[in-house]
Amino acid sequence: MMNTFGNLFRLTSFGESHGAGIGGVIDGCPAGIELDMTFIQNELNRRRPGQSKITTPRKEADEVTFLSGVFEGKTTGTPIGFIIWNDNQHSADYDNMKEVFRPSHADYTYQTKYGIRDHRGGGRSSARETIARCVAGAIAKLVLMQEGVHIQAFTSQVGSLKLDKSYQAYDLSLTESNAVRCPDPQKAAEMEELIAEVKSQGDTIGGVITCVIKGTPVGLGEPVFGKLHAALGSAMLSINAVKGFEYGDGFEAALYRGSERNDRFYNDNGKINTHTNYSGGIQGGISDGQDIYFRVAFKSVATILMEQQTVTKTGEDTILKAKGRHDPCVLPRAVPIVEAMAAMTILDYLLIQKTRG
Amino acid sequence: MMNTFGNLFRLTSFGESHGAGIGGVIDGCPAGIELDMTFIQNELNRRRPGQSKITTPRKEADEVTFLSGVFEGKTTGTPIGFIIWNDNQHSADYDNMKEVFRPSHADYTYQTKYGIRDHRGGGRSSARETIARCVAGAIAKLVLMQEGVHIQAFTSQVGSLKLDKSYQAYDLSLTESNAVRCPDPQKAAEMEELIAEVKSQGDTIGGVITCVIKGTPVGLGEPVFGKLHAALGSAMLSINAVKGFEYGDGFEAALYRGSERNDRFYNDNGKINTHTNYSGGIQGGISDGQDIYFRVAFKSVATILMEQQTVTKTGEDTILKAKGRHDPCVLPRAVPIVEAMAAMTILDYLLIQKTRG
Amino acid sequence: MMNTFGNLFRLTSFGESHGAGIGGVIDGCPAGIELDMTFIQNELNRRRPGQSKITTPRKEADEVTFLSGVFEGKTTGTPIGFIIWNDNQHSADYDNMKEVFRPSHADYTYQTKYGIRDHRGGGRSSARETIARCVAGAIAKLVLMQEGVHIQAFTSQVGSLKLDKSYQAYDLSLTESNAVRCPDPQKAAEMEELIAEVKSQGDTIGGVITCVIKGTPVGLGEPVFGKLHAALGSAMLSINAVKGFEYGDGFEAALYRGSERNDRFYNDNGKINTHTNYSGGIQGGISDGQDIYFRVAFKSVATILMEQQTVTKTGEDTILKAKGRHDPCVLPRAVPIVEAMAAMTILDYLLIQKTRG
Amino acid sequence: MMNTFGNLFRLTSFGESHGAGIGGVIDGCPAGIELDMTFIQNELNRRRPGQSKITTPRKEADEVTFLSGVFEGKTTGTPIGFIIWNDNQHSADYDNMKEVFRPSHADYTYQTKYGIRDHRGGGRSSARETIARCVAGAIAKLVLMQEGVHIQAFTSQVGSLKLDKSYQAYDLSLTESNAVRCPDPQKAAEMEELIAEVKSQGDTIGGVITCVIKGTPVGLGEPVFGKLHAALGSAMLSINAVKGFEYGDGFEAALYRGSERNDRFYNDNGKINTHTNYSGGIQGGISDGQDIYFRVAFKSVATILMEQQTVTKTGEDTILKAKGRHDPCVLPRAVPIVEAMAAMTILDYLLIQKTRG
């Protein structure tokens, strides 16, 4: 609820797009973890605007400063405070947003909910908030590596261009080799072209990110309301612009019969295994040791550089045309965010599971 | 986390399929609510097995007994304890399940997680657990009615048979007029036929439920991790057999451009309104006063009356053939469960919103 | 908050004095614990009215029925639902309470908070609610025994009669040998006499319970708000009639200087130990391996069989004289309740600590 | 649990004594509250070291910087991040603490719990952490003022010097007129003298703080585990050096009979009132509209400038003599901390109560 995510590994975040910065407090991180600052900064760089010609050119260093909880390079078990200062605060650019509700943004709902809002660049509802998630996610990943858990997300669809095979058919290590973060270089090139075209029109486009988690032990997940996939779904749906979540065979499962999709067990040289993994690595809300995989749908970014009809704060019809930069496709930058949320969720459940022993 | 759902309106449930009963404690229910017992029992009847020839014939009265929190017919603000006794405990029927892990059931994961399990009929992982949700959901609905909120779910897809228009094109009041709970009588008949065929083969089939919530005020939803759709998604994904959740235009949003899908505001006779509602009634995680609608994908029920390869507890290959009754399609009975989870979620957020005034 | 206690080992309770019964749901109990029913029932018997001539004669069997979470005598890791039926519901006896607010009872505050209340015997505010705590506490004790933790409470003061030495000066195994549960047989006899005298006047008397916890490992307690003694304090203060809590040297600590009360460390044959334990086994909110001990102050029971001035629901002055039975001193029966709350708190923190490893 | 306090009004704090600073995130603060920066800074100044000759001379500006959640001087309903930079980090001073466990400090327990600790000045266990509480408490006070709630704490005992009358006998507005924060100027002078003497010996002394809350509406408090005094008790016990908590007549209640201490109701010109207030403004865990008052016992500060026996990290006996400054009596500076914790608790319960309407 509110601005805290997680139970035992917990991120409380704060900050607005054009305030002092974006930050947070990570509570419950195991003590004695070596903080690999290069790794953490690299995770932030992966979500930073201006990485390539197909993202928004906003250029901020996005360097994280740790304020507590780390001593001589290691976590101490006390809360890890951190901040990423905003260094690019052209607040005046947003003065024309003060009186206008942008279509499909949160301006109207925030204003109505709170009776007040920081209109500069979306304030708290800005996607810039996700930078705090990447910091906490990076630390979660560092802990998970020690437990043998590996998380990899990638862009699997942009507009109508989609990867049509299962994740197993691709070499996921190629994901970072291109600007869209798609493991199929051919498809990636097509996606890049599409995004460039959309960008040139001042428009935006949606897509889908797929995420695969390998190495989770059997047993993560809390019946009945805290099913592992319910937690993963909630985590993903809390990311800006996400419209849908499915795991395993997802919506496709609706089409099939039990006889076609039950994952049959067999004795795999002394180990219990399944022939198929339509279940997506989760049975009855609990991880079964197979790969966990899921898909996350993103809508097109709401800020477009085209004229749009809308209303002012007082309800008068007006025409809005955003100026300057815009992000034609959020997918490439959202890949590390999906991974970060998955990492925090899995680590939280790993910690809970330790109490069940 | 664990067996509690919600923050301010909260259900803690307990019970196994073949234990004494299924029950729960509802905490945080507003005081002074008249408990309409006919309404509540009717909600339970909607999810009860044996309602029609296309559901499992298991016949239990499923009558709820309230144990506390109600005085002279009204809620008192103290916790509402309740139980639905199990009256049909043919535990012996399940003795052959003791040593076998059923494919795509939670037998294996529960056994590994806890080192022990109640194997009778799935124990805690049985869908019978959802009866507690229907009790709490019914009470949430009674509170929501007073606030002008109305929730309606319906079967929109069974196998490949699907409603191809938006929910607005149908007369949702027809939903309860047929056994599949589909508002299109023609399509409903086809679905019934499909389910009957699947049943005759001892097989099962999946589908999709759509849910529409009307009358929510602007402002429900907690940024940033407690977005309203993240809570709804988590609630739905916690229901047995659910594989996916999408709201508004959902996965379809991936295909479109911002210029095509932004919901433009206009002045609607002095009120701020939007021309379209691709957003599904939620902007930036907060309700915007439009209809909230979402879709929930269900896989086919894992219990089939056909031979399946599987393993025993000790990992030996074996052939399983379930006997007796089975539920060929969970969709019709899941409609009230989807509504119940939606009702609890919305009420929880309504209560939170009262603290924001 | 509300009717749930604990984080990872969690009790949600329900029930009113004169409703169907008192019950609860225990969530997070480790799986595979053998439920020793004789032990559990004995814990309930220790708090039951009518054990001796110095308690209220209300006679209820107070037998617990487990509804879930137990299979073949062992916990399964799923929620443990339970109920203790009320079998002695002379509701009519309480009709004269309907319109009157009893002094120093919760009648007035409940009525004002909720606008409605179950007036029969105090409803939810009745001390009968604590029976659910004893069930959960008994199970927590069973788990703690396996971890080598032992909890012992005893009556250390009734009115002005008090034990004037430290708990170490007494043989605590004598606690259960007398009706007041005081380990000093001589003082116990005096206390019994005092209570009998108070009872004969229709009056009541307060006192203090001391509790000692042995065998806790070093490291339990969560900085900074979840200090172990803060959790113990909150647990104790949630018991009906409790007015104060102190641990270690408590209020007496105010009188002394650092040089007099610091617990100096020394090397105790290779183990770090302290010469004294004024800290009460907790340093900086974290257990240090010494005995944890604390004191809990109880006011006199509010129900007296004497005339008292009060007001009706509508605010008119009136004279109240309660009839029938009353409990002259809650201390003896509160001893197991103090232990139960301590057991749940310690177990909760033991589970949390497992995630820190 | 952990480093978060509160449910709906919530502080998550971070920071160590000699790290970058102390900060926190306040979540759930109502929107539209004007942040009176002079008031907030004054609250911080009240707890700052070096205010008078009887406190520790450590001189830090302790200026709070708000990082988010405030726009044009008002709260926006989004999380309020803040930090107080540490500007006086003589870490080298603490190098001799690295290998030694100071008596009655948390060095040993932190080291054992986490396997690592920031030894500089107590790290996270330093009382400097309470500065974050004062920031959040100051904001809570600003909200409470609008609701007509007023909170006032004062030093009522230092060593054996104590105020022997009820709080009503004093003019509490005199509290801030002297360095000990005692409303009796005569007694204050004696206390000052005692503290000065203790200080000159390099020793420390304990005491008691009394707190009075006026203006709370009837109805705050959540049965059964969230009783208002249980929350207040937990809040107070979470403050460093606190050893005991009592409300109303507290431990004294043990001495009296029901007939002596029941708070009788009467019709007070049409309003329900009580003749006495032994209950301390709380009945059955719920505020009854009378003054809430409670007492908090503090032990003497553990850091003394005298030789003490202790052990090293590896368990060898050694003699410790702290150098430099020390705080002879924490009471004066703890007065605003007690108020801050009370303010957060009351506001949290006020917000919860809004959901009960």
> pLDDT at position A58, please?
63
Q: Cα distance from C23 to chain D (closest Cα, Å)? A: 13
Contact A355 C354 (CB under 8 A): yes
Of the candidates D112, D113, D206, which has its C-beta nearest C256's C-beta? D206
Count CA atoms within 13 Å of residue A9 on its CB side: 29
Nearest-angstrom CA–CA distance, D150 and A268: 70
C-alpha A22/C-alpha A84 separation (Å) is: 5
Tell me the two tokens of residue B322: 């379930």
* CB nearest to A309's CB, from B112, B264, B270: B264
Could you report the per-residue pLDDT of C111-165, keeping only the tens digit for each? 999 999 998 888 999 999 999 999 999 999 999 999 999 999 999 999 999 999 9
Give the per-residue pLDDT at C323.
81
| Residue pLDDT, tens place only, C71-88 | 999 999 999 999 999 986
What was the pLDDT predicted at B186? 97
pLDDT for A102 beyond 70: yes
Cβ D357–B352 below 8 Å, yes or no? Answer: no
The CATH code of the domain at A4-354 is 3.60.150.10
Residue A326: partners with Cβ closer than 8 Å, 6 or more residues away: A56, A199, A202, A204, A301, A303, A304, A305
B316 Cα distance to chain centroid: 36
Q: Do B109 and A221 touch (CB under 8 A)?
A: yes
The pLDDT value recorded for residue C58 is 63
φ/ψ of D256, rounded to 5, equals -110, 170
Mutation target vs A (from C68, C222, C354, C355; most A CBs, 10 A cutoff): C355
Before D224, cis peptide (omega within 30)? yes
DSSP code for C154: E
Residue C59: which region, alpha, beta or left (left: phi > 0; alpha: psi -120 to 50)? Answer: beta
Rounded distance between C-alpha atoms, residue D67 and residue B257, angstroms: 35
Is D287 annotated as contributing to ligand binding? Answer: no
Contacts of C117 in chain B (CB under 8 A): 71, 76
**What are the residue ranges of helices labelled H in A201-284?**
228-237, 258-261
Q: Please tell me the predicted confidence (pLDDT) of residue C93.
A: 63
Residue from B8, B286, B355 whose CB has the most chain D CBs within 10 Å, to mutate: B355
Phi then psi for D194, rounded to 5 degrees? -60, -45
Q: How far is C40 from chain B (nearest CA, A)?
A: 19
Band the pLDDT of C55: cuts 50, 70, 90: confident
Q: Which of D12, D68, D76 sits opposite A114 (nearest CB)?
A: D76
Task: Report the DSSP pairing between strands C308-312 and C100-101.
Answer: antiparallel
- Alpha-carbon gap: C76 to the closest alpha carbon of chain A (Å): 11
Option in B105, B243, B283 nearest A106 (CB): B283
Pairwise CA distance, residues A37 & D87, whole Å: 25
Give the pLDDT confidence score for residue C339 in this predicted structure: 98
Q: pLDDT at residue A56 above 90?
A: no
Rounded Cα distance between B345 and B237, Å, is 13
**Per-residue pLDDT at C95 exceeds 90:** no
Which residues in chain C are closer than 8 Å to A77, comparing Cβ atoms? Answer: 356
Bridge partners for B293 per DSSP: B212
Q: Which residues of C are annotated binding-site positions?
A: 47, 53, 124-126, 240-241, 284, 299-303, 325
ipTM confidence: 0.97
Number of H helices, E strands in chain C: 7, 19
The answer to whether the beta carbons of residues C243 and D247 sit under 8 Å apart is: yes
What's the average model confidence in pLDDT over A79-94?
Answer: 81
In the chain, the amino acid numbered B257 is R
Q: Is A127 exposed, middle or buried (0-12, 13-18, 19+ CB in 10 A)?
A: buried
Contacts D356 to B, Cβ<8 Å:
30-31, 77
Compute the nearest-CA separation of C321 from chain D (Å). Answer: 12
Which residues of B participate in the annotated binding site for NADP(+)? 47, 53
Q: Are the beta carbons of D114 and A76 separated by less than 8 Å?
A: yes
Residue pointed to by tokens 């069930």: C135
Phi-psi region of D259 (alpha: psi -120 to 50; beta: other; left: phi over 0): alpha
3-state DSSP call for residue C334? Answer: helix
Contact A118 D78 (CB under 8 A): yes
Cβ-Cβ contacts under 8 Å, B33 against chain C: none
Q: How many CB atoms lie within 10 A of CB C32?
A: 12
Residue A83 is nearest to which of D32, D67, D114, comparing CB atoms? Answer: D67
Q: How many CA atoms lie within 13 A of C285 on its CB side?
A: 25
pLDDT in tens, B193-215: 999 999 999 999 999 999 999 99
pLDDT of residue A87: 83
Print pLDDT tens along chain D (357 aa).
689 999 999 999 999 999 999 999 999 999 999 999 999 999 999 998 877 777 776 667 899 999 999 999 999 999 999 999 998 656 566 667 788 999 999 999 999 999 999 988 889 999 999 999 999 999 999 999 999 999 999 999 999 999 999 999 999 999 999 999 999 999 999 999 999 999 999 999 999 999 999 999 999 999 899 999 999 999 999 999 999 999 999 999 999 999 999 999 999 999 999 999 999 999 999 999 999 999 999 999 999 999 999 999 999 999 998 887 889 999 999 999 999 999 999 999 999 999 886
HEC secondary structure over D219-270: CCCECCCECHHHHHHHHHHCCCCEEEEEECCHHHHHHCEHHHHCCCEEEECC
The answer to whether the annotation marks D240 as part of a ligand binding site is yes
A109, C27, C218, C324 from C62: Cα distances, Å: 53, 22, 37, 21
Residues of B in contact with C124 (CB under 8 A): 68, 76, 78-79
Find out whether C305 and C202 touch, Cβ atoms under 8 Å.
Answer: yes
Burial of C133 (0-12, 13-18, 19+ CB in 10 A): buried
| B39: alpha, beta or left? (left if phi > 0; alpha if psi -120 to 50) | alpha
Which residue positions of A form the known binding site for NADP(+)? 47, 53
D78, D223, D355 ranked by CB distance to B355: nearest = D355
Per CB-CB distance under 8 Å, the chain D contacts of C1 are 7, 222, 225-226, 352
In B, minimum Cα distance to D29 occurs at B356
Residue C54: per-residue pLDDT: 76
Q: Report the gap between the CA of D223 and the closest CA in chain B (Å).
A: 8
| Chain D residue whose CA is closest to C246 | D244
D23 contacts A78? CB cut-off 8 A: no
Q: Which parts of chain B have pLDDT scores under 50?
A: none
D160 is in an annotated binding site: no
| pLDDT per residue as tens digits for the range C187-211 | 999 999 999 999 999 999 999 999 9
Task: Name the CA dihedral angle for A303, A305, A307, A313, rounded to a multiple of 10 degrees.
Answer: 40
Q: Which chain D residues contact residue C243 at CB under 8 A? A: 246-251, 253-254, 280
**Angstrom distance (rounded) from CA A203 to CA C218:** 60
Q: Which pLDDT belongs to residue A355? A: 86
Residue extents of the structural domains in chain A: 4-354
